[in-house]
Chains A and B, each alone.
Chain A
Amino acid sequence: MSVAQALTAERVWEALAGVPDPEIPIISVVDLGVVRDVQVDGEHVRVEFTPTFLGCPALDVMRTQMAEAVRELGGEPEVVVVTDGAWSTDRITPAGREKLREAGYGPPTPRPAGPIQLVQLQTGAFRCPYCASTDTRLDNLFGPTACRSIRYCRSCRQPFEQFKTI
């Protein structure tokens, strides 16, 4: 097989930027910051990624779609889940945060130095994605998916989904 264009890590990153999050398709896996590393060795492409939450049911779909994107470039994919204490929601890109806000999700607040405290979730640091008011309250630590909480905006009287900081 003749390869018209050499397989490079840069091309793989570009292809992965076209792989949507299965649950929130407006944001890509690259915007979401879950792709940790791409290594290309000839046709072999190793993609390391960390799911936002280990129990995320979208994990297998993401893995399959990333492998497919690599195959479309003519590469032989190896998609590896990496788990360590280094990944946090701080890795979501600025563009990704903006896309989340536009779609009605509160992007995660910056990770504090220590463990998350309840009092931090009750502060005015959370901005309503609809009206930008910070007059919001925590309604439920848990939401429709593992990665989100439910908050309520007192200003525009609208509940919204807030990404958890991890």
Chain B
Amino acid sequence: MTTQAPPRVDLLLQLADDELVLGWRDSEWTGIAPFLEEDVAFSSIAQTEIGHARAFYELAAAELDTTADELAFDRRPEEYRCAPFVELNLVHDWARSVARRWLYETADALRIAALKASDWPELAGLAAKIEREEAYHALHAGMWHERLTRSPEKGRYADALDKLWPYALGLVEGDQRRLLCEAVGRAEVAAVERGTHVDEWPSLWDEMTMVRRTVPGGTW
């Protein structure tokens, strides 16, 4: 597997890896969310994120002459281009999980809007399609953000946002950082950058890729 991908393919892998890994993390709430309706919501959001990951991987796979599954599951842990933000294991911490959803959707909306103007027609078209689907994720995140901001536990939620902010900033680059600061009303800080991985990443990678590694070439 090549790690020297052309810049536009590298961008696709960043997007795809972010969506795949966050989808995986969100799915960890399936069955144990604090409300039944949130079991359904987090599961559905996870499914949609992984669908977006697949679409990005397919576009990248055509450029690299490989397949979406190979990109998603056959790379070494250090080859993944996701932001450390999406790797964090936040299950059992609802405040941080909501904070991550809200920060992620805010950042993602900025980069999807920029991708719609891409001179690569397939990527611009995909971004336009994804934007329509993501609108529901943003509504959900916004609703929970409002609720926790006004709740008696608002201090805990504010703390979650503070802790995650340097990680969230690492999702985007360049001018989008300034836009993200404006969108969430926070000052720019030193970001936890892409290219590094958090301590929880190897065990998540191990779990995600276990079936592929157990039965190489297996199809279902």
Chain A contacts to B: CB under 8 angstroms:
50, 53-57, 82-88, 115-118, 121, 139-146, 150, 164, 166
User: When the two chains form their complex, are residues A142 and B131 in contact, meaning their CB atoms are under 8 A apart?
Assistant: no
Closest A residue to B58 by CB, please name it. Answer: A81
Closest A residue to B43 by CB, please name it. Answer: A142
Question: Interface residue tally of chain B, by bracket?
Answer: 20 to 34
User: When the two chains form their complex, are residues A166 and B132 in contact, meaning their CB atoms are under 8 A apart?
Assistant: yes
> Would you list the 6 A-B pairs with minimal beta carbon distance, nearest first?
A55-B51, A85-B128, A84-B125, A142-B44, A54-B51, A83-B129
8 Å CB contact of B143 from A115, A118, A145:
A118
Task: Check A166/B125 contact, CB under 8 A, given A141-B41, A142-B44.
Answer: no
Task: Check A55/B40 contact, CB under 8 A, given A85-B131, A88-B132.
Answer: no
Task: Check A146/B51 contact, CB under 8 A, given A84-B129, A141-B41.
Answer: yes
User: When the two chains form their complex, are residues B139 and A118 in contact, meaning their CB atoms are under 8 A apart?
Assistant: yes
Task: Check A141/B131 contact, CB under 8 A, given A56-B51, A84-B125, A146-B44.
Answer: no
User: When the two chains form their complex, are residues B50 and A55 in contact, meaning their CB atoms are under 8 A apart?
Assistant: yes
Closest A residue to B37 by CB, please name it. Answer: A140
Task: Check A141/B132 contact, CB under 8 A, given A54-B51, A55-B50, A55-B52.
Answer: no
Query: 30 A-B Cβ contacts within 8 A?
Result: A50-B129, A53-B48, A54-B52, A54-B54, A54-B55, A54-B130, A55-B50, A55-B52, A55-B133, A83-B122, A83-B125, A83-B128, A84-B128, A85-B116, A85-B125, A85-B131, A88-B132, A116-B136, A118-B139, A118-B142, A118-B143, A121-B139, A139-B37, A141-B41, A141-B136, A142-B45, A144-B40, A146-B133, A150-B40, A166-B135
8 Å CB contact of A140 from B40, B116, B126:
B40
User: B114-140 toward A: CB 8 Å interface, digit per residue (1/0)?
Assistant: 001000001001101111110110011
Closest B residue to A166 by CB, please name it. Answer: B132
- Docked pose: A85 CA to B112 CA in angstroms: 12
- Docked pose: A3 CA to B133 CA in angstroms: 43
